[in-house]
Amino acid sequence: MYTHFKEINELISRSEKIILTTHVVPDGDAIGSVMAFAGYLKQKGKNPVIINHSETPDNLKFLDKKNIIRVFSKDRLKNEKLISEAEVIFLLDTNEYSRTKSMEEFLINSPAQKVCIDHHMGLKPRQFNFVITNTVYPATCQILYEFIKDDDEKYFTKEVASALYTGIMTDTGSFRHPRTSSDVFMVCAELINDGADPVKLYDEIFANVTKENLKLTARFLDGLQFHSDNKIVTGTVTKEDFRSTGLDIDHVEGFTSLIMNIKGIKIGIILVELKDNIKISFRSKGNIPVNKLAAEFNGGGHKNAAGANIKGYSVKELRKLILEKSEKYLEN
Ligand code: 5GP
Ligand code: MN
């Protein structure tokens, strides 16, 4: 952590034009963060505007019932103006402007004060005027919980608590990933007391599998390849898989946990073929630093969960190349 909560509180108090944003392909922690923080700011009499590069995934839309999240490409000129006239911009759940894709240059060029609140590694603090970061926390929403609590617990309305709970539940993989500390449960217990419903929230987010989802999953499982004595598994999702099921990348999220549940697996790699690049997800068990493997492909992330985006290869070529570089990480 670099900035004291109080400094950011003072910044909020003296600012009116406040923008919140998060990363491309937003997950539960990303949408939970912007919605919880917006709910908090509203109670403080502010009128924050959320602008994201991506549409909100269907299973997270329940957090934004009033549909307040603006998508940058829709009504783009207005969104550019909002960013260029902002006094404060909060970048939540990422510390890289590039992960806001089409918004990157507008955020960087805006004269606004820039605040980053995030839990990822690899922060370059000089890009921001204020930074709150803690890579020990499993979710940005846990940092926001502390921030809001430090101000006043009265701001934990049912909506705010539900958004924060969503971020923590999803980024901990439903309370089973390595950073699931006892503190996580203490925080979630309080959020449940404040109105977050763990059963309803789980069902909203996860209990919505369709026939098409199952078909995409079947194609994915059918294409899994095992390597290095079954310690490494690679899987792919191709444009053809998306075309034949009518689904998109939003429906691939659960695949990493599927392959990491395979008995004895150490490294799991998924390649997703998109319109003009291939998105790679790396996962590992124990002490294997897949963020270093991801860095070999210009990506990054955490020790056990990392990613990269690559252009100029076919899925087959890239799979072979990644595999060649993966095997040495098994020795850790
Ligand atoms: P996922 O596989 O869930 O998309 O990403 C896992 C983690 O890897 C993310 O939380 C993020 O930290 C990191 N990550 C994913 N894609 C990229 C990327 O293109 N570049 C970098 N630097 N990190 C990424
Ligand atoms: Mn997160």
Domain boundaries, the chain: 2-206, 211-331
Q: Whose CA is nearest to atom 13 of ligand 1?
A: 301
Residue from 147, 142, 98, 94 nearest 122 by CA: 94
CA distance 123 to 17: 25
Q: Is the dihedral of CA 274, 32, 79, 86 positive or negative?
A: negative
Residues 6+ apart with CB under 8 A from 282: 267, 268, 269, 290, 291, 293, 294, 299, 301, 305, 306, 307, 308
Residues 6+ apart with CB under 8 A from 243: none
Ligand nearest to C-alpha 29: 2
Per-residue pLDDT of 73-111, as tens digits, reads 999 999 999 999 999 999 999 999 999 999 999 999 999
Q: Whose CA is nearest to atom 16 of ligand 1?
A: 307
Contact 118, 133 (CB under 8 A): yes
pLDDT at 2: 77
Token output for 319:
């799979």
Average pLDDT, the chain: 96
Per-residue pLDDT of 107-144, as tens digits, reads 999 999 999 999 999 899 899 999 999 999 999 999 99
Q: Is the CB of 299 under 6 A from ligand 1?
A: yes
Residue from 147, 212, 148, 206 nearest 175 by CA: 206
Q: Whose CA is nearest to atom 19 of ligand 1?
A: 308
Q: Which CATH architecture fits 2-206?
A: Alpha-Beta Complex (3.90)
Correct CATH for 211-331 of 3.30.342.10, 3.40.50.450, 3.10.310.30, 3.40.50.10440: 3.10.310.30
pLDDT-derived band of residue 170, with 50, 70 and 90 as boundaries?
very high
Q: How far is the CA of 145 from the centre of ligand 2 (A)?
A: 13
Which pTM does this prediction carry? 0.81
Per-residue pLDDT of 221-253, as tens digits, reads 999 999 999 999 999 999 999 999 999 998 998
Q: Is the CB of 139 under 6 A from ligand 1?
A: no
Contact 49, 20 (CB under 8 A): yes
Which residues pair with residue 300 across a beta bridge? 307
Residue from 63, 5, 62 nearest 38 by CA: 63
CA distance 109 to 86: 11
Token output for 30:
């990303």
Same CATH fold assignment for domains 2-206 and 211-331: no
Substitution candidate for ligand 1 out of 120, 141, 269, 277 with most atoms within 8 A of CB: 120
Token output for 166:
């969503």
Token output for 229:
């004595």
